[in-house]
């Protein structure tokens, strides 16, 4: 199946070179992005991603090149053209093309790009065994709730995880576990699920929110509260969440093996699958 892209005002082949040298996303990371998972041809939590996209644009004072509804339509048209059923939709919006200067260009002319690619699917053996993570000091800027293109600290942390044979690096600030380089993190202790509150210091993950809602609907106690590395080590269960991982159990933290218990994680994962199927069914009913 072909991977399809859209840039500015036309659909293109994904490998076609189109980004001008003075594109502000290229030069400054001056932009935002979203990644949306598609299951059997149906995007999951599309509305929530579009809402977060609008919020991130507002937070960095960037006008969208099209109304959010039109960006969604273009993304779905790209998905249709690709004919990829298990896909990821990548949407990126930058402040556009202008002579290199730090302050905003005038007049504003933001640029949209969309990529449809095959989904990254977690291998079943990794999902069954759980994954290893490492911890690293959080050296990012203070506005992590903006889903911006400024990801160099995340890239460096993820590379350290890869070199350590781990799945993810968790950012820690004054011994408080915040989130992963590309994920949110949860622990379970005495039947209570805990995750860092949705402050400006973490990304407000869409899958994170779905899991929180799922837990509460299922009557599973959940607290949005800070927890320490020691609490992570002593947790009965721990797991990561993201658009591409869904829910993924943590087996080991910095060579510290966690409990093999996954009762709550497995229950949440099953409920998450049901929610996906329900949204897919509702999608077809409304199209």
DSSP alpha helix (H) spans, the chain: 24-28, 46-59, 68-82, 124-129, 152-163, 206-217, 229-233, 263-286
189 belongs to the catalytic site: no
- 40: Cβ–Cβ under 8 A, 6 or more apart, which residues? 85, 86, 280
Q: Yes or no: say if 20 and 97 are a contact pair by the CB < 8 Å rule.
A: yes
Helix (H, G, I), strand (E, B) or coil at 225: coil
> E strands along 95-175, which residues?
111-118, 131-137, 168-173
Instruction: Say how many C-beta atoms besides its own lie within 10 A of residue 59's C-beta.
Output: 15
Question: Considering 117, 126, 142, 147, which one is annotated as catalytic?
Answer: 147
Distance of CA 120 to the CA centre of its chain: 12
Cβ contact 263:237 at 8 Å: yes
Sign for the pseudo-dihedral over CA of 170, 172, 175, 178:
negative
Catalytic residues: 147
């Amino acid at each position: 199946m072909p991977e399809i892209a859209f840039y500015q005002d036309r659909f293109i082949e994904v490998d076609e070179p189109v980004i001008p040298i003075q594109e502000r996303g290229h030069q400054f990371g001056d932009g935002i992005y979203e990644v949306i998972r598609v299951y059997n041809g149906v995007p999951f939590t599309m509305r929530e991603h579009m809402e977060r996209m609008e919020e991130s644009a507002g937070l960095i004072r960037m006008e969208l090149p099209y109304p959010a509804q039109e960006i969604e339509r273009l993304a779905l048209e790209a998905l249709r053209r690709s004919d990829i059923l298990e896909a990821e939709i990548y949407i990126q919006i930058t402040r556009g093309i202008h002579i290199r200067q730090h302050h905003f260009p005038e007049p504003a002319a933001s640029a949209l790009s969309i990529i449809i690619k095959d989904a990254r699917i977690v291998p079943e053996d990794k999902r069954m065994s759980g994954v290893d993570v490492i911890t690293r000091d959080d050296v990012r800027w203070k506005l992590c709730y903006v889903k911006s293109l400024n990801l160099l600290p995340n890239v460096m942390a993820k590379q350290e995880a890869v070199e350590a044979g781990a799945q993810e690096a968790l950012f820690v600030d004054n011994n408080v576990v915040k989130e992963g380089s590309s994920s949110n993190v949860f622990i379970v202790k005495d039947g209570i699920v805990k995750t860092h509150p949705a402050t400006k210091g973490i990304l407000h993950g869409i899958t994170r929110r779905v899991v929180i809602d799922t837990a509460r609907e299922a009557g599973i106690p959940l607290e949005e509260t800070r927890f320490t590395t020691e609490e992570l080590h002593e947790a009965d269960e721990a797991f990561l969440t993201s658009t591409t991982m869904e829910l993924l159990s943590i087996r080991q933290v910095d060579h510290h093996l966690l409990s093999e218990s996954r009762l709550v994680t497995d229950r949440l994962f099953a409920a998450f699958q049901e929610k996906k199927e329900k949204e897919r069914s509702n999608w077809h009913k409304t199209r």
